[in-house]
């Protein structure tokens, strides 16, 4: 995918939350069956909540996009202390971001302030969004990212294999495995058999879990 070639267009998914449609890739940023529901189910319920008894957590997200996963995680991170690093190769423009309705649907001033702080945060440096959530947005493809510390949790939220096959190659799982801590967890909405086999070959223990509405399965991988 060439940098700067995407022309995302705002659409409403089936739970009323916005997502972005990318006609060039025949892809959406989230499930059209419900963006908010998908994010809550895949990344929060089956990822973040695994670590509910931990006081500190380091998260890597692949694909910052609209910042929805970052927002939900920041709102859930009380009293935990979360450091959240997120990779993106195509930052969205501020005008499009200002139209997204996540904070309205979550219906709290805190959600609106947090969403604004996440998007206003400077890129490439670690910024405290609030007392529990530190954010670093990094403009770098996962294929080139060099981590300086290990992550407990990875949100793998790249475009689907048919749209960006290079983001689902076996080397990606080997790279991520090396960046993760012992008992670290990786979650993704994708449940493709080849992806799961490649994750196993990289050393992960892999499980299929029920997917969000409209999707039979999702994947969770654990570094033993």
Ligand X SMILES: C[S@@+](CC[C@H](N)C(=O)[O-])C[C@H]1O[C@@H](n2cnc3c(N)ncnc32)[C@H](O)[C@@H]1O
Interface pick for ligand X out of 42, 142, 176, 185 (rule CB under 6 A):
142
SS3 138: strand
Among 42, 59, 60, 68, indicate the residue that binds ligand X (CB under 6 A).
68
**How far is the C-alpha of 224 from the C-alpha of 212, rounded, in Å?**
26
Q: Which two structure tokens, joined as six digits, stand for 162? A: 């048919």
The residue from 81, 116, 141, 215 that contacts ligand X (CB under 6 A) is 141
Contact 50, 69 (CB under 8 A): no
Binding of ligand X at residue 88 (CB under 6 A)? yes
Contact 205, 185 (CB under 8 A): no
| Binding range to ligand X, per CB under 6 A, among 66-74, 106-114, 180-188, 199-207 | 66-74
By CB under 6 A, residue 167 contacts ligand X: yes
Q: Is 87 in the site for ligand X (CB under 6 A)?
A: yes
Is 129 a residue that touches ligand X (CB under 6 A)?
no
Q: Return d(Cα 63, Cα 60) in angstroms, integer.
A: 10
The residue among 63 and 184 lying less far from ligand X, judged by its C-beta, is 63
Q: Which stretch binds ligand X (CB under 6 A): 58-66, 126-134, 174-182, 215-223?
A: 58-66
To which H or E segment does residue 129 belong? Answer: none
Q: How far is the CB of 207 from ligand X (least distance, A)?
A: 22
29 binds ligand X (CB under 6 A): yes
Q: Does 203 bind ligand X (CB under 6 A)?
A: no
Candidate list 34, 157, 172, 185; residue touching ligand X; CB under 6 A: 157
Which one of the spans 49-57, 85-93, 113-121, 213-221 is the region binding ligand X (CB under 6 A)?
Answer: 85-93
Which H or E run contains 119? Answer: helix 109-120
Contact predicate 152/51, CB 8 Å: yes
**Residue pair 46/209 in contact by the 8 Å Cβ criterion:** yes
Contact 102, 115 (CB under 8 A): yes
Choose one: 44-52, 61-69, 77-85, 113-121; the region binding ligand X (CB under 6 A). Answer: 61-69
Within 89-165, strands assigned E span: 127-128, 133-139, 151-156
Give the binding site for ligand X (CB under 6 A). Answer: 1, 29, 62-63, 65-66, 68-69, 87-90, 141-143, 157-159, 164, 167
């Amino acid at each position: 995918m060439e940098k700067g070639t995407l022309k995302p267009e705002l659409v409403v998914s089936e739970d009323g939350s916005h997502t972005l449609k990318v006609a060039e890739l025949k892809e959406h940023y989230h499930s059209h069956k419900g963006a908010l529901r998908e994010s809550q189910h895949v990344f929060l319920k089956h990822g973040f909540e695994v670590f509910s008894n931990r006081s500190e957590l380091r998260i890597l997200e692949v694909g910052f996009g609209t910042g929805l996963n970052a927002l939900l995680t920041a709102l859930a991170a009380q009293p935990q202390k979360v450091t959240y690093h997120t990779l993106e190769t195509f930052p969205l423009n501020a005008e499009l971001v200002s139209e997204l309705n996540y904070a309205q649907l979550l219906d709290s001033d805190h959600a609106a302030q947090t969403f604004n702080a996440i998007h206003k945060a400077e890129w490439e440096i670690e910024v405290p969004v609030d007392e529990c959530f530190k954010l670093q947005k990094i403009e770098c493809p996962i294929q080139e990212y060099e981590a300086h510390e290990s992550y407990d949790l990875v949100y793998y939220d790249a475009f689907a294999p048919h749209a960006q096959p290079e983001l689902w190659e076996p080397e990606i799982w080997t790279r991520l495995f090396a960046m993760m801590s012992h008992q670290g967890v990786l979650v993704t909405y994708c449940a493709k058999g080849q992806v799961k086999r490649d994750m196993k070959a990289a050393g992960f223990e892999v499980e299929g879990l029920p997917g969000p509405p409209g999707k039979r399965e999702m994947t969770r991988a654990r570094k033993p």
